[in-house]
Structure 1
Amino acid sequence: MIRKIEKADYPRMKEIWTSAVEHTHDFLKREDFEYYQAQLPFYFEQVTLWGFEEEGVLVGFIGTAGDSLEMLFIHNDCRGKGVGRKLVTYGIANLQVSKVDVNEQNAQAVGFYKHMGFRTTGRSECDGQGKAYPILHMSL
């Protein structure tokens, strides 16, 4: 089930983010992981959030701003089970999502977005925080 996220979900979302990033972002320096983790409440406030529940437990979420998918995180225990596909499909169909930025070094995510129909339209050497993590800009 996909539902709107509430502030009460933030602790669970932090768990999901941590689980996802620890298993997919092996290129992140530890201090950068800790920096981004500490920024999560701020980041959550900057986007519209939707979550996917399985048996009443939040297991993944997306954050959108305008037509951009700003975040997609799935708890590692639920990766590969279609949760990300369902959330992105929901974003495209209901939230007019047509763009996403993705860490170039996260090959699984790049492949996933390509499979979902996104194509690379540009590249930046640094992420939105100015850190040296190349970003691919993708659009439908």
Structure 2
Amino acid sequence: MNDYQATKKEYPELVNIWSKSVKATHDFLKPSDFEQIKQELPTYFSQVDVHIWMDQGKIIGFSGVAEKKLEMLFLDPEFIGKGYGKRILADLIAKSNIEYVDVNEQNKAASDFYQAMGFNIFARSDQDEAGRAYPILHLKK
């Protein structure tokens, strides 16, 4: 498995992966919020260090890091549950000194994943960063 820094020309592919991943894992997200976030994603990409993760020539997913915080980690649903998330997160912890991650409270699988990887909940917000009614769990390594 390898990674490389994403470029703007790859953003549409990342939005596509995000869309498939969120549809598979975020059944609590309202369709209107899904569309709004999808439109805003390229703006978010420009604010973080985005890496595309590949294995045997296939894109597995992507990550976004800012300072010591994992801002986004999305896998193509085809690769969820096959150990890629663990490998990517372990690599990011080692290379980027990741100490923090936020996760939607309703996304129990993701919350359980990060906790199994050694993160602990230290705070909770009633809304996401955009003020939408999706509670966020704040985790620290």
Identity of aligned residues (%): 43
TM (norm. structure 2) is: 0.96
Matched residue count:
140
Question: Which residue pairs with 1:70 in the alignment?
Answer: 71
Question: Which residue pairs with 1:35 in the alignment?
Answer: 36
In structure 2, stretches of 5+ residues that fail to align are none
TM (norm. structure 1) is: 0.96
Give the CA deviation at 1:54: 2.1
Provide the alpha-carbon RMSD of the alignment.
0.9
Contact 1:12/1:58 (8 A) holds in 2: no
Give the CA deviation at 1:57: 2.4
Q: Where has structure 1 moved over 2 Å in runs of 4 or more?
A: none
In structure 1, stretches of 5+ residues that fail to align are none
CA offsets per residue over residues 76-100 of structure 1, 9 Å max, x none? 0110112211211111100111000
CA offsets per residue over residues 14-57 of structure 1, 9 Å max, x none? 11101100011000000000000011110100100112112222
Instruction: State how far apart, in whole Å, the 2-side matches of 1:55 and 1:7 are.
Output: 23
SS of the residue corresponding to residue 118 of structure 2 reads coil
SS of the residue corresponding to residue 124 of structure 2 reads strand
What pairs up with 1:79-94 in 2 under 5 angstroms?
A: 79-94=80-95
